Amino acid sequence: MEFMRRIEDASIFISEKSKKVDSSGIRKVFDLAQKIEDPINLSIGQPDFDVPNDIKKEAIKAIEMGFNKYTITQGIDPLREKLADFINKKKGTKYTKDDCLITSGVSGGIALFLMSILDEDDEIIIFDPYFVMYKHLTNLFGGKPVIIDTYPNFSLSDKKREIESKITEKTKAIVINSPSNPTGKVLSKEDIFTVYEIAKSNNLLVVSDEIYDEFVYDVEFFSIASIYPDGTVLLGGFSKTYAMTGWRVGYAFGPYAIIKEMIKLQQYTFVCAPSFAQYASIKALDYDMSEYIKSYKMKRDMVFEGLKDNFDIVKPEGAFYIFPSPKGISVSVEEFVNKCISEGVLIIPGNVFSERNTHFRLSFAASDKTIEKGIEKINKVYKMFH
Ligand SMILES: Cc1ncc(COP(=O)(O)O)c(C=O)c1O
């Protein structure tokens, strides 16, 4: 009997570490959204276009050719070879295929990296606003996220003293994400050099999540991997650029000792990235996505122009998110966001990505028509509270 009762309440088995992972912010938006018919969805973290046909055909070909079994743990040689060339040309690095691990998306890369380096209470420096996974996975693997606020401009070059003051003997790595989810901020060369100098002089690893590196608009993208190869784990992926979020292909480049450890742990967790998708990713690297990116720059302009009068915004230079804060409203941002959602516009409250709740995230990975309707409604809600 005792046994039966325990199984009925299976939640008693959940670990404290797992309980610490909080997804309530996003869930609340999805729950509210369920009640809305035909919402204007500006909450989505993936492109609104589909995988280009040539890349789809390559995936189908791979399946039909019988390329359906496990691949080697670190990913197929031709993909790692081509990727090393591609990244070297794009980012000025000097990688070979042996510095590379193909992961199950960048999510897989983040998890393996943290598993590889974290002992109990080891510290990871994360900049706020942050991509949620960094904080939660650090907690899950027994580490401690040390969060540094980067408001209002989200740059790092002016935060050197503060970053240094947070370093202890437990600090192992600094996480950077450029272009950023949720702000669209692209770190400048000065920002990158600031992180590099701190990391180098304190013997820290840098994990650089560059998943949005193709979505860069009017500025130059600079990767820390080009100046700090021995201390950087560069993470990137195919999810966003080629709209293949469901195919689960990402990659990690970095110092051999870390990559080797990540490969070992991949063997006992993800095993390998999906075989057919690895095969199609080789083709994807030849595919010119510049027209798609151009259209996203136009969407960025449209959203920024549409919101800038009523909201404080750092104009996004990359990714497909904007992170505005309503100017002088009479209610909390939480209430503002709830009202937008009940009016049919799905956006995500800032506290999902931050210790603050002063902003919201809007994804412009949507059709122009959806963006237009969304801007109009958000400004209408603003007027109700201003
Ligand atoms: C900053 C950032 N990193 C990593 C990921 C994970 O992407 P994936 O696992 O699909 O490669 C995302 C997805 O939203 C992201 O925004």
Residues 194, 70 within the same domain: yes
Tokens describing residue 285: 């690297």
Ligand 1 mean position, distance from CA 131 (Å) = 8
Ligand 1 mean position, distance from CA 44 (Å) = 12
pLDDT confidence of residue 5: 55
Whether the predicted model's global pTM rises above the 0.85 cut: yes
Q: Which of 137, 210, 211 has most ligand 1 atoms within 8 Å of its beta carbon, as the pocket-test mutant?
A: 211
pLDDT confidence of residue 265: 98
Ligand 1 mean position, distance from CA 107 (Å) = 6
For residue 351, give its domain range: 17-50+290-385
Q: Which of 112, 181, 281 has most ligand 1 atoms within 8 Å of its beta carbon, as the pocket-test mutant?
A: 181
Residues 73, 178 within the same domain: yes
Ligand 1 mean position, distance from CA 384 (Å) = 35
Residues 201, 64 within the same domain: yes
Residues 61, 203 within the same domain: yes
Q: Is 157 exposed, middle or buried (0-12, 13-18, 19+ CB in 10 A)?
A: middle
Decide if 280 is inside a domain.
yes
Ligand 1 mean position, distance from CA 194 (Å) = 24
Find the mean pLDDT for residues 76-94.
98
Decide if 12 is inside a domain.
no
Residues 202, 312 within the same domain: no
- Helix (H) or strand (E) segment spanning residue 8: helix 2-8
Residue-wise pLDDT for 131-177, tens only, equals 999 999 999 999 999 999 999 999 999 999 999 999 999 999 999 99
The closest residue, in CA terms, to atom 4 on ligand 1 is: 106
Decide if 43 is inside a domain.
yes
**Interstrand relation of 40-41 and 311-312 (parallel, antiparallel or unpaired):** unpaired
CATH of the domain at 126: 3.40.640.10
Decide if 368 is inside a domain.
yes
pLDDT confidence of residue 3: 54
Q: What percent of the chain has pLDDT over 90?
A: 90
Decide if 6 is inside a domain.
no
Domain limit, last residue, from 266, 284, 302: 284
pLDDT confidence of residue 335: 94
Q: Which of 23, 107, 137 has most ligand 1 atoms within 8 Å of its beta carbon, as the pocket-test mutant?
A: 107
Residue-wise pLDDT for 194-237, tens only, equals 999 999 999 999 999 999 999 999 899 999 999 999 999 999 99
Residues 218, 69 within the same domain: yes
pLDDT confidence of residue 7: 65
Q: Is the pLDDT of residue 62 over 70?
A: yes
Ligand 1 mean position, distance from CA 47 (Å) = 12
**Closest ligand 1 atom, residue 319 Cα:** 16
Residues near ligand 1 (Cβ within 6 A)? 45, 105-107, 131, 177, 181, 209, 211, 237, 239, 245, 250
Give me the amino acid identity at 205: L
Distance CA 185, CA 182 (A): 8
Residues 270, 366 within the same domain: no
Distance CA 67, CA 56 (A): 15
Residue-wise pLDDT for 253-295, tens only, equals 999 999 999 999 999 999 999 999 999 999 999 999 999 999 9
Decide if 113 is inside a domain.
yes
Decide if 8 is inside a domain.
no
Residues 139, 269 within the same domain: yes
The closest residue, in CA terms, to atom 7 on ligand 1 is: 106
Decide if 144 is inside a domain.
yes
Residues 41, 60 within the same domain: no
Domain limit, last residue, from 252, 284, 316: 284
CATH of the domain at 340: 3.90.1150.10
Distance CA 345, CA 375 (A): 9
Q: What is the mean pLDDT of the chain?
A: 95
Q: Is the pLDDT of residue 104 over 80?
A: yes
Residues 82, 167 within the same domain: yes
* Of 194, 128, 197, 184, residue with least CA distance to 159: 194
Residue-wise pLDDT for 26-43, tens only, equals 777 878 778 888 899 999
Q: Which of 110, 133, 248 has most ligand 1 atoms within 8 Å of its beta carbon, as the pocket-test mutant?
A: 133
**Closest ligand 1 atom, residue 248 Cα:** 10
| Domains identified in the chain, total number | 2
Residue-wise pLDDT for 353-373, tens only, equals 999 999 999 999 999 999 999
Q: 283-319 in b/e burial notation, b at 16+ Cβ within 10 A?
A: bbbeeebeebbeebeebbeebbebbeebbebbebbbb
Residues 266, 299 within the same domain: no
Residue-wise pLDDT for 309-322, tens only, equals 999 999 999 999 99
pLDDT confidence of residue 34: 81
Residues 353, 261 within the same domain: no
Top-confidence residue, 338 or 4: 338
Ligand 1 mean position, distance from CA 43 (Å) = 14
Domain limit, last residue, from 284, 299, 334: 284
pLDDT confidence of residue 364: 98
Q: What percent of the chain has pLDDT over 70?
A: 98
